[in-house]
Each structure stands twice: as C-alpha cells, then as structure tokens.
Amino acid sequence: MHPLLASRARLGSYLLGWLPIAALLAGMARTQGWTWAEAGALSLPLCLLGAFLFLSAWTLCRALPLGQGTEGLANRGAAWGTAALLMGGLWSGLAWLLARGLAWLPALSGLPFKVRTALPVITGLGILLYLASVALSYLLLAQARTLEAERRGAELQMVAQESELKALRAQLNPHFLFNSLNSISALTAVDPVRAQEMCVLLSEFLRRSLGLGERRLVTLGEELELARAYLAIEQIRFGSRLQLAWRIDPAAEPALLPTLLLQPLVENAIKHGIATLTEGGVLTVDAAVTEGHVVLSVDNPVDADAPPPVGLGLGLRQVRQRLLGRFGARSRFEASLRDGHHRALLVFPLETL
C-alpha cells in the first residue's frame, strides 16, 4: 500500500497540497478568458483525479530504486519520461471527459471547446506534476528505508543490551560466591549462628539479584537494597576491616536506572579496594538530587602502591556504556583515583515511574 494511503493524516496533508495546484490551474484558465465557474468546475475535480492518478508513481519508483550507477540512471530516466508522457496525456484526457460531462449545465456549455484548446497546456502541467510525484515517491522510499534502518538498529541495540545484561548476570562475581561458601563452611564449625546468618543473607542476595536481573529498569532504592544485601555478606567475611557509610537522599531513591548498574561498582570497591588493604577501610555510597539530576558515587580506599587491577577497566566501561545507552548525553560517568581513594561518579536525569 502507498504510504500516503496508510495514514489519514498524511493523505489529508497530501490532498491539501493539491489545493494550490487547483488554484494555479484556475488562475491560468482565467487568463485565457474562462469564467470563474468554468475554471473552478474543472480545476478542483481534475486535481482530485490527478492526486490519486499520480500516486501510481510509487509503483514505478519501487520497481526502479535509485543507486544503480550511470547506466541504471539512463534506464530510469527513460522510464520516468515515458511514464510522465503517458500520465500527462491520460490526465488531459480526463480533463476532456470531465468537460464533456459538465457541458450539460448551461453555464458550462462552452467548456469542452475551451478544454480542447488548452489540452497541450494541461498535458504539460500533468507531465510536471507526475515527475513531482516521482520525486515525492523517492523521498518517501528513502524515509521508509531510514525508519526501517532505525528500527533494525533499535532491535539490534535491544538484543545487545539484553545479551549484555545476561552476561552481567552470568558473571555475578563467582569469586564472591566461592568466598562466601568457603566462609560459611569455615564458620559452621566455630560459629554456627553466624554461618546460618550468612546463608540467609546469601540466599536473600541471590533472590534479589535474580529478580532485578529480569528487568531493564529498576529504582535506585532497589539497587541500594541489593547492594546492602551484598555488603552485609561481605561484612561477615571482612569483619571490622569493612566499614560502610551510606549518605542517601530519599528523593533520589525513586529514580530509574538500568538494572545492576550499581552492583558492579560496589563489587569493584570490595575486590580491588577493601580486599587489598590489610587494615581495610570505609566504603562510601553517596546519592543526592541536584538540579533534576541524580548524583551517585561509590568511594573506597585503594593501595596506592599496588599495580593497576586487572578487569577493573572492563567493568567500568560496561557501566559507562549502559548509562549512556539509557540517558545519552544527559548523563555522565567518571572514574578517578586520587589521594589513595577510587571514586566512581554517575550523574543522570531524575526519571521516575
């Protein structure tokens, strides 16, 4: 189906575009001595017929797509010219039939003679209008291809994001799970109560992470709850070496963000920060709302003399890409190392359900 016929709004705009053409045709007739009744009676119905007649250019343009080289251009030009001559002649023939059909009215009895005299002009105008319809058809085809490319690009991006999220769920720090299970095993003999507590916390964390992993967007509050469940387990492992500081503005908690965006930052803070320090340190999670944006940061001490950790850059790149994929230029991600502290900063618009 022609795209102009598939939408009432487009069809209405297209038909309105023929009104100036009808006015032009009527004005040309008036200069040749036609009465207003004769000019209006012919131009309006003739342009309405032409509006639908010249839609046939769509079929020709689909059969002769652009971009086939010089030889293809010559073939297309010959096809366009032939079709324009035929359609221009057909349109002028319709004008003649229309004039004959209106001649029974006394005020329009002289219309057939005047139309016969003007047939060359009507034919030439029909040729030009058909060629304009060819140009419009190619424009619509180009627009359709662009929309289709955008749709496919969006689908591919969605598939890529889903694959990335599945990979992120699959790589949920296996070292953390192994260490947690080893800690539970060790605590079973010396402190069964804490071992049982750790089992409950681990179960709660896995339940939350799997639940959030099935969704593309979650609230910051839900991400924070997952991080708290994770850090509660790590606190049992590290004891006094791990201290937590939560500075959370309640206004930031309803903010929407890609799922499991905060979790990799918290895991990195433990794995590449707290775990490398004999004395441990304070892990700070800060969230605030400033000028319609959420400012979220994760700060942790690091061993300044240690070599750069392997794998940290990949995790941060994933966070940056997913943040930009959701919010684009409206968001910002920074990771800095200063004065023995690593800080990951996320800034994104405050969007809620």
Q: Give the tens place of pLDDT for each residue, 203-226.
A: 888 787 777 767 888 999 999 998
334 and 194, same structural domain? yes
> Phi, psi (5° rounding) for residue 245?
-130, 115
Q: Hey, what are 259's tokens?
A: 């799922």
d(CA 68, CA 74): 10
Terminal CA-to-CA distance of the chain, rounded, Å?
38
338 and 218, same structural domain? yes
Cross-strand pairs, 299: 284, 343
Residue 191 pLDDT class (50, 70, 90 cuts)? confident
Residue 126 has pLDDT above 70, yes or no: yes
319: buried, middle or exposed (CB in 10 Å: 19+, 13-18, 0-12)?
buried
Q: Hey, what are 142's tokens?
A: 């180009």
d(CA 123, CA 237): 89
Residue 312 has pLDDT above 80, yes or no: no
Last residue of a domain, one of 160, 195, 226: 160
Distance of CA 221 to the CA centre of its chain: 26
Residue 156 pLDDT class (50, 70, 90 cuts)? low
Last residue of a domain, one of 94, 127, 160: 160
d(CA 300, CA 336): 11
Neighbours of 84 (CB within 10 A): 22
Q: How many residues does the chain have?
A: 353
192 and 306, same structural domain? yes
Residue 298 has pLDDT above 90, yes or no: yes
Kind and range of the H or E run holding 187: helix 174-190
Q: The dihedral of CA 318, 323, 329, 333: what is its sign?
A: negative
217 and 115, same structural domain? no
Residue type, 155: E
Q: What is the pLDDT of residues 222-253, one digit of tens each?
A: 999 989 988 988 898 888 999 999 999 999 99
Domain count, the chain: 2
* Predicted local confidence at residue 23, as pLDDT: 92
Q: Which CA distances in Å does 76 have to 71, 72, 139, 291, 342?
A: 9, 6, 16, 57, 64
CATH number for position 196: 3.30.565.10
Residue 347 has pLDDT above 80, yes or no: yes
d(CA 242, CA 234): 8
Neighbours of 93 (CB within 10 A): 14
Alpha helices in 281-344 (DSSP H): 312-327
Cβ within 8 Å of residue 327, ≥6 positions away: 348, 349
190 and 111, same structural domain? no
Q: Hey, what are 90's tokens?
A: 């057909």
In which domain, by residue range, is 278 found?
171-349
345 and 207, same structural domain? yes
Nearest alpha-carbon partner for 312 in 258, 348, 275, 352: 275
Looking at residue 105, the DSSP 8-state letter turns out to be: S
Nearest alpha-carbon partner for 76 in 89, 62, 86: 62
Q: What is the pLDDT of residues 53-95, one digit of tens each?
A: 999 998 888 888 876 556 667 778 888 889 999 999 999 999 9
136 and 33, same structural domain? yes
218 and 110, same structural domain? no
Q: What is the pTM of this model?
A: 0.54
Averaged pLDDT for residues 318-328? 86
Cross-strand pairs, 288: 295
Q: What is the pLDDT of residues 251-293, one digit of tens each?
A: 999 999 988 889 889 988 998 899 989 999 999 999 999 999 9
Asked if residue 2 is part of any domain, the answer here is no
> Phi, psi (5° rounding) for residue 262?
-80, -35
Asked if residue 275 is part of any domain, the answer here is yes
* Predicted local confidence at residue 145, as pLDDT: 86
Residue 313 has pLDDT above 70, yes or no: no
With both helix axes pointing from N to C terminus, report the angle between 111-170 and 69-102 in degrees, rounded to the nearest 10: 130
